[in-house]
Amino acid sequence: MMTTLTLPNYLLHNPTLYECIFDHTFITSKSVLYKQGKLSVRIGMHMVILLLEGQKIVHLPKGDLLVDASEIIYTAQGNYFMTEIVGAQNRYQSILICFDDQFVLNFIQKYAISFDKKERSNPIAIVKKSPFLHSCVETINAFYTEKRDNTLSLIKLKTEELFLYSLWADQKGFLAFLKCIVETESSRIKYILESNTDVIQTPKDMGDLTRLNERLLRKEMARLYHMTPKKWLDHVRLQKAQLLLKNTDDSISQIATTCGYANVSWFITQFKKHYNATPFLYRQENLHQ
């Protein structure tokens, strides 16, 4: 059964795998050794992924993305996806930079960035490396070779530079990513729920974690997701089940348990209602696509 890794927690708890430089709001890590095979990942802070070597496939609910060292990945907090290394000899090296809402809000204010209300937001942006972006990434990588007392401050400055170059290289795509963060930053509730989906089993658990009574929880869920607590929980579970069916060989029973369903029959019923196919048929049609 596949374990879900929550980032950046996993980075900080595994110093033999990742070399981390951090404070309480900003974390940067470089892979020293990399766990091979498919990984199930939940993003607990906003993140930029800088591939230095190799390729990876990112399995998302709406499709797969093949990303290599010529691209930069931005992903907002709360995303859940699966990844795997591809290519010759599984050679892979990357730097992950995690940052909070305030880092983004300060950047937006500092450079007077505005948004078009008509444009949609997007929790993921993939930007092709221009020569400027490539140089910026190489400089960040060099900071790991010779660390100084102010290394973290320098990486923060370089991350701002990454943002500016990304805005230049793909203004529409990167603005959509920033807008996603701005639209959701106001809610502590959103962060708590999306960081704990693996332990939430019932709407009562949601209320206990957020310290909201039933009425206030329903009101907040309607504001954030336009759903009731139960519908949101079902949506998160089924989204995870969809990824596991497509990208693992776990049994239907194992997936039901992993996604928080005590009854396999009920899981099958709910899945069919949402995807118009039983889990078995869905897997047959979509496995490893």
163 and 263 housed in the same domain: no
| Segments forming the whole domain that contains residue 217 | 188-286
* pLDDT tens figures, 236-252: 999 999 999 998 889 99
DSSP at 95: E
* pLDDT tens figures, 85-115: 876 666 788 999 999 999 999 999 999 999 9
User: Is the separation of the CB atoms in 94 and 30 below 8 Å?
Assistant: yes
* pLDDT tens figures, 38-91: 888 888 889 999 999 888 889 887 788 899 999 999 999 888 888 888 766 667
Sign, CA torsion 246/250/251/254: negative
74 and 162 housed in the same domain: yes
Give yes or no for residue 198 having a pLDDT over 90: no
Number of other CB atoms surrounding residue 29 within 10 Å: 24
18 and 148 housed in the same domain: yes
CATH number at residue 239: 1.10.10.60
Which of 116, 151, 184 marks a domain boundary? 184
Domain count, the chain: 2
Is it true that the peptide bond before 203 is cis, omega within 30 degrees of 0?
no
Mean pLDDT of 17-37: 84
Whole-angstrom distance between the N-terminal and C-terminal Cα of the chain? 20
Q: Which pTM was predicted?
A: 0.74
User: Is the separation of the CB atoms in 271 and 278 below 8 Å?
Assistant: yes
Q: Mean pLDDT lowest for which of 28-42, 70-84, 112-126, 258-272?
A: 28-42
